[in-house]
Amino acid sequence: MRRAAVALVVLIALLSGTGTAVAQPAPPPNPGDDELERSQQEVTQRAGEVGRLTSELADLDARTDDLAAELALSRESAEAALVALNIAQEAAAEANRRADAARIETEAASAAIESARDRLDEFVVATYQQGLDNGPLGLLTAASGPEDLVARAEFNDAIARSQLAAQEGLERARVDKANADAGARAALQDARDRAAEAERAKAEADSAFGAADQAAREHAARLAELNAQRVELQRRLEAAEAGDAGLRAQRARYNDWLARVAAEQAAADRAAREEASSRVVAVGDGPPARGSAAVRRVIDRAMSQLGVQYVWGGGNGRGPSTGIPDRFGSPLDRVGFDCSGLMLYAFSGAGVRLPRVSRNQYNAGRKVPIADLRPGDMVFYRNGGAPIHHVAMYIGGGRMIEAPYTGASVRVTKLRTRGLLPLATRVL
């Protein structure tokens, strides 16, 4: 419909007498003054209607862009919540492993206590069975002579040391068990806390996905409403154009021009994609580049994907991939890139590992003003004070490459200023 809007501006210029002159057929019969006046009034009336329709179509285009941005934001929030859930679940699993280890230590300490108690019991039983009086004077008073007295004194000392060692071993085992019990309780509490955090993260992720799902349905409903309005406007536009043969001829010529421009652009995109792909293949898995060579490699990898379809959640360092499962109407067998996935693939060619979500990619490097943009810098978009919902790569000449939205493909386009953050991110 933007094409129609541009065509309408050209048509208004023609009706106003400011358009490009075109060859005219042989003049028709000369009309009377009254007929000329009526014709001029009709053309003027239709020109005003065309102008109003142009304004309405431009407004619908802006509203459609806003809806696409809102949907992208809700999907980014859902993906960020999914990342947080994975982190929380991993932390809970690690806490459970620590709790299991502490439980094993507690069981080992209990076994040590039992072993120490058994040794002490053995000592007592042996003393009882042998009928030894191991008191302070029991063995000494029964000595038969000096040599026996010395032997009995040494034996008495050995018994005392053995008894003391058995008692100390039991006490140490009890202390070790008390420490293991405390560690096990702390580990178990930590595991419970981590599990609770994982549950909260899951609830937040479910809520975010639910919000994105609802946003997708609302987006589809509102787009259907806007498309219905477009059909009506197009019908009125065609009726206005059909009122004058000159307008219809101009529209046909303009559509032919648009087709030529589209064909030329498609050919240029194919040539750029093939050229970039050949350089990517030539580099292969070579060592990471530096400086301008790294920038060239990153841009080439992005350009080699021109025409690949947009798939939400698609793309990684190896190339296009399937997206997030079919919660928003995307078939599971679709392969492509979303905006941040395209950045992952492009920058991996220079050995740069980026986060998955665009709002996190914003913080992955040094901030530079938009006025100082260089090829290879990442630019970001958001609506008002909402979080970042889109990322693209500046390639120079006032242009950027991006995976724009569902239904479109990776493309090179003019750097948009609407919603553009004042700072870009530079990682090379």
Catalytic residues: 339, 390, 402
Token digits for 423?
């700072």
| Alpha helices (H) along 349-410 | 358-361
245-283 and 291-303 helices cross at what angle (nearest 10)?
130
> Cα(143)–Cα(166) distance, rounded to whole angstroms?
27
> Cα(264)–Cα(258) distance, rounded to whole angstroms?
10
Token digits for 337?
């890139």
> Cα(306)–Cα(345) distance, rounded to whole angstroms?
13
Please enumerate in sequence order all residues whose Cβ is within 8 A of that of 108, keeping only pairs 6 or more positions apart, or say none. Answer: 180
Tokens 């028709």, residue? Answer: 28
CA 186 to chain centre: 35
Please enumerate in sequence order all residues whose Cβ is within 8 A of that of 378, keeping only pairs 6 or more positions apart, or say none. Answer: 343, 361, 362, 365, 391, 392, 393, 394, 424, 425, 426, 427
CB-CB contact of 311 with 323 (8 Å): yes
CB-CB contact of 400 with 393 (8 Å): yes
Closest CA to 90 of 206, 198, 186: 198
Closest CA to 109 of 182, 165, 163: 182
Residue 214 Cα distances to 159, 238, 327, angstroms: 82, 36, 10
Half-sphere exposure of 40 (CA within 13 A, CB side): 9
Structural Rg of the chain based on CA atoms:
40
Residue 251 Cα distances to 16, 58, 200, 243, angstroms: 16, 18, 58, 13
Beta-sheet strands, E only, within 238-313: none
